Amino acid sequence: MVASLWRVEDSSTAQLMRSMYQELAVHPTDVATALQQAQKFVRTLVRNGRQPYAHPYYWAGFVVSGTEP
C-alpha cells in the first residue's frame, strides 16, 4: 500500500503515481524502489524552464507499507 502522510497536490501526485507504475512495470516486485525512482523523477521534472515540483511538499509525503509479494 502507498499512502500519503499529508494532503497532497493533484497534478504532482498524478505525475508521481504515473511514474511509479511505469517503474513497477519494469521492476514489478519492488514497490519502495519504484516510489523512490518516481520521487526523483518528479522533483527533477522541468516545465517551462522551471522545476515546479522540486519542493518536498510535492513528492515526499508518500510511504510504502505492507509486505512485498
Cβ within 8 Å of residue 62, ≥6 positions away: 2, 3, 4, 5, 8, 16, 35, 39
pTM of the model as a whole: 0.87
Q: What's the pLDDT at 68?
A: 58
- Confidence at residue 23, expressed as pLDDT on a 0 to 100 scale: 94
The angle at the Cα of 14, spanning 58 to 12, to the nearest 5 degrees, equals 25
| pLDDT surpasses 80 at 67 | no
Helix (H, G, I), strand (E, B) or coil at 47: strand
At 35, the pLDDT band (50, 70, 90 cuts) reads very high
Mean pLDDT, to the nearest integer, of 21-37? 91
Residue 64, classified by CB atoms within 10 Å of its CB into exposed (0-12), middle (13-18) or buried (19+), is middle
The confidence score (pLDDT) of residue 44 equals: 95
Contact criterion met (CB below 8 Å) for 44 and 51:
yes
